[in-house]
Amino acid sequence: RSKVTIKSLNRMYKHGEPISMMTAQDYPSGLMVDRSGVDMCLVGDSLAMVTLGYDSTNPLTVDEMLHHCRAVARGCKSSFLVVDLPYGSYESGPEDAVRTSLRFMKEGHCEAVKLEGGKEMAETIRRITSVGIPVVAHIGLTPQRQSALGGFRVQGKTSKQAQLLIEDAMAVQDAGAFMMVLEAMPEEVAQVITKQLSIPTIGIGAGVHCSGQVLVYNDAMGIFDRFVPKFTKQYANLNEIMTNALKEFHLDVKSKQFPAKQHTYPIDPAQLAKFYQ
């Protein structure tokens, strides 16, 4: 299939064709997302929780993220590849943010970076885009700020909050973001934001009126079931399938059902006779 570029994404947006985005965290998930025809692949920092078992996305380091980003990039050849800047690697100033973004472009082989925040990140987004790195913004529920938000909570539920979200959306667009993720907000609010913007919005828990949709791979595939957000649609139950397969292997070993003849290597009978002598 042909390579998805910012140009083709903009074409989809112009024609009102919804954009699909899925996260990935390693080589096989990157490969499968790519093969399935999904437009964009995000190495989301949610991998801190669903793949690495951290309690939040905050402990994830740049080096850890680079390790995953490179693995995904080896599998993902046609989908447009975006990576999340980890918590603590971009907030202290545009200088830091540019340095981290360059590292991900150069060593992570991604095509754009994503960062959380609204107005307060405008200057940073301006600086990153000024050196030619495409930026995806992320507003609404911003998991890296869960401590300040008081947990993973829906945003924009009051008219005042909703107004602030619109201001954030306009600010990051004006700063040069080419796309933004809208996470966990009433669909009417996401609809108004999407209408007012001239760049695509990608929703997660933000209703059907966004310009596209994103889900976390492990949630959508039913791999991670410790906490499943309301906005997740589970397209498969790999957890159950894989746990059953592992149980079967375990029992096969105990009962010597495995390995069978077809899993073993033959030896020439003449050689065997000599060997036994």
Footprint of ligand KIV (CB under 6 A)? 23, 42, 44-46, 84, 138, 181, 204, 214, 216
Q: How far apart are CA 194 and CA 39, in angstroms?
A: 19
216 binds, among ligand KIV, Na ion, none (CB under 5 to 8 A by kind): ligand KIV
Bridge partners, 212 (sequence order):
19, 202
What is the residue type of 134? P
168 binds, among Na ion, ligand KIV, none (CB under 5 to 8 A by kind): none
23 binds, among ligand KIV, Na ion, none (CB under 5 to 8 A by kind): ligand KIV
Q: What residues from 5 to 64 belong to the interface with Na ion (CB under 5 A)?
A: 44-45
Q: Is 167 an active-site residue? A: no
Task: Kindly state the smallest distance separating residue 44's Cβ from ligand KIV, in Å.
Answer: 2
Contact between 204 and 114 under an 8 Å Cβ cutoff? The reply is: no
Q: Draw the binding track, 171-190, toward Na ion (x: CB under 5 A; -: no contact).
A: --------------------
261 vs 247, 252, 273, CA distance in Å?
21, 14, 20
Q: What count of residues does the chain have? A: 277
Contact between 80 and 111 under an 8 Å Cβ cutoff? The reply is: yes
Residue at shortest CB range from ligand KIV: 44
Q: Draw the binding track, 65-84, toward Na ion (x: CB under 5 A; -: no contact).
A: -------------------x
| Residue in 64, 91, 95, 183 annotated catalytic | 183
Question: Comparing C-alpha atoms, which of 87, 106, 107 is closest to residue 97?
Answer: 87
Pick the closer one to Na ion by CB: 44 or 134: 44
Q: How far apart are CA 137 and CA 100, in angstroms?
A: 16
Q: Catalytic residue numbers?
A: 183
